[in-house]
Amino acid sequence: MSGKLYLYPGSIRIWHLLNAVLIIGLIITGVSLQYAAKDPILLPFRVSITWHNIFGVLLSFNYALYLIAGFVTGNFRFYIIRQPRFWHRLFRQARYYAFGVFRGEEHPFHVSETEKFNPLQKISYWFVMFIFMPIVIVTGWGLLYPDLVAHVIFGVSGLHVTDIVHIIAGFILSIFLVVHIYLCTVGMKWGDAIKTISTGYHHPLNDD
């Protein structure tokens, strides 16, 4: 295969950069809030609250940019789960990450102008972008404006439920971030992945 493929439009690249910075800021301030003490381990409580709120509001607007850009640029076409044999291909991809890559096997997926995500990327981006990000954003706004939250949910404090759901979703996003960064380096050079998400061009030599 020859020639570079332009797969990441400018708006998606800007969203992704801001998103990464904001999520990292939210993790640092969120962990600091979780372990708030008189002598703070990470950041003073007030500083964490203020910056967590600012980053959270910015993340919400940035998420709106992602949704708009996804429709306007047609980027969401890459998220469509196509049969046949999606689950089979997903399993093959997972097997490659678990064993194949260490045995020097050929990458089971080839990026093309119609498919930029392998099945595992597709399903994880789906969960992250359309389930956990909305959950963390909606519950975050609920915690910012507690009057918006139902007083009682399933017989317990609505705010408490909102808080627990927010923390679990945030934790899952933190795990995703670590795995995502790791998997972006598997089967290709680390610099190539960064080049792809900063220039928009997928270099065919990466894995094709």
**Residues contributing to the site for ligand HEM (CB under 6 A):** 8, 12, 16, 19-20, 23, 75, 121, 125, 128-129, 173, 177, 180-181, 184, 193-194, 196-197
Instruction: Write down the least CB distance from residue 180 to ligand HEM, Å.
Output: 5
Instruction: Write down the least CB distance from residue 157 to ligand HEM, Å.
Output: 28
42 burial type by CB count under 10 A (0-12 exposed, 13-18 middle, 19+ buried): middle
Instruction: Write down the least CB distance from residue 60 to ligand HEM, Å.
Output: 13
Output 82 or 160, the one with its CB closest to ligand HEM. Answer: 82
Which letter, b or e, does each residue of 77-96 get, where b requires 16 or more Cβ atoms within 10 Å of its Cβ?
ebbeeeeeeeeebbebbeeb
Output 43 or 173, the one with its CB closest to ligand HEM. Answer: 173
Give the CA-trace dihedral at 200, 21, 142, 162, to 10 degrees. Answer: 100
Output 7 or 43, the one with its CB closest to ligand HEM. Answer: 7
Instruction: Write down the least CB distance from residue 131 to ligand HEM, Å.
Output: 11
Give the CA-trace dihedral at 84, 87, 89, 95, to 10 degrees. Answer: -170
Output 5 or 159, the one with its CB closest to ligand HEM. Answer: 5
Amino acid at 199: T
